[in-house]
Amino acid sequence: MNFESGRDLSTIILIVEDEAAIRMGLSAAMTRQGYRVITAENGKDALQKAGEYHPDLIISDILMPVLDGFEMKKKLSADPALAPIPLIYLTARTAVEDRVIGIRGGADDYVTKPFDVEELTARVEAVLRRVRRERKLGHEQAREFDHEDLEKLRRELMQNFHHEVRTPLSNVMMFLEIVATHKFETLEEQKEFVRIAHSSGERLESLISDIILLTDLDQGSINNIRQPIHPEVHILQPIRRRITRYDTKTIHFVPILSISNEMKAPRQEFPRAILHLVDNALKFSPNEGTVILKITSGEKGGATITIEDQGPGIPVALREKVFERYYQISQGATREHQGLGLGLPIARAVFRSMGGDVKILDSAQGCCVQAILPDLSTEDLAYG
């Protein structure tokens, strides 16, 4: 900090001037005022240095060779990272129309030559103060909005989590208690109570597994060891168990497998990612709808997985939003389908951890999701 001027030396000013004498004089004057100064000879040079140093303010001439001040400002405005930098034009052009062009072009102030150093300094300080006030206000508003949105999401998440956990947990405890205390009349009734308790236990296990998997993903410790995958055992059996949750919808599940080469992937994470993609299709399918799962093996351990359903589909504008965690919850209590909104984010994260991806494709009807598992590379850990 420069205690004499009270200014922070980390404040960077970029001076753009083609005349060396003026450039050096301006640089010396602003340095004496306690600013860190960088100079450029023309607009092209300024663009490069602006990208490198990200100055807090630019003081620029207008009439310059290579790239003039107006064109330089246009290019700055086209770059989201550089557009917010305030700019003061410093020029010998005094006509009113020139001032209007400069201000309309995005300049924050306009100082004519010859200039008084004290006046220029005052203009610089005024612009910097205004920018700082605006940024502070913007940050405060953003924090307020972020806090409100975060609190709303937290409440909705906890309410939904409460429902997702309490309902199956209550079923487990209630029906096991009925069985344990022999409060049933027939053997068939006993079997049905045990089945309900077991199914509810599987729901809890699925939720806990998702939370553990998310933790592994966040910590970068997800298992990426690729082992041989047996489609029937590792993929289809878990899907068929999941389909029982949707018995009342009478959904037709059609697996189409084209497995000419062995697939290799993590045996827990990979099938779970596919299960989430299929579950999403089952959830949004209409009664008596059809869900098609296509798996085509690659040449060396990879695969292409496609899931098609006859549901309402996903608008193009939302095809990336649905991969955000808790996006479904963020839609509020009016949403039709329950869940924590983790299925699609988990599936994409798992495939991306193996160098692949999950995308939503154009489809004439319903939704079509494609997941790519790349073939093995020399860097992949694999055995079996």
The pLDDT tens digits of the residues spanning 40-91 come to 999 999 999 999 999 999 999 888 888 888 889 888 888 888 888 999 888 7
Q: Which residues form the domain of 108?
A: 12-115
pLDDT tens-digit series, residues 276-297: 999 999 998 999 999 999 999 9
Half-sphere exposure of 230 (CA within 13 A, CB side): 4
* Sequence-distant (≥ 6) Cβ neighbours of residue 229 within 8 angstroms: 235, 262, 263, 264, 265, 267, 270, 271
Mean pLDDT over 170-182 rounds to 84
Indicate if the pLDDT at residue 143 is higher than 70.
no
**Boundary of a domain, candidates 219, 239, 265:** 219
Position 2 confidence tier, pLDDT thresholds 50, 70, 90: very low
pTM here is 0.53
Claim to verify: residue 351 and residue 232 sit in the same structural domain:
yes
Claim to verify: residue 252 and residue 349 sit in the same structural domain:
yes
Q: What are phi and psi of 367, to 5 degrees?
A: -125, 140
**Boundary of a domain, candidates 94, 115, 136:** 115
The 3-state DSSP class for residue 307 equals strand
Domain membership flag for residue 23: yes
Domain membership flag for residue 293: yes
Domain membership flag for residue 89: yes
Nearest-angstrom CA–CA distance, 368 and 359: 9
In single-letter form, the type of residue at position 178 comes to I
Domain membership flag for residue 278: yes
Domains identified in the chain, total number: 3
Nearest-angstrom CA–CA distance, 243 and 98: 71
pLDDT tens-digit series, residues 78-112: 888 888 899 988 877 654 555 555 555 567 777 87
**Boundary of a domain, candidates 187, 219, 251:** 219
Closest CA to 292 of 250, 257, 264: 257
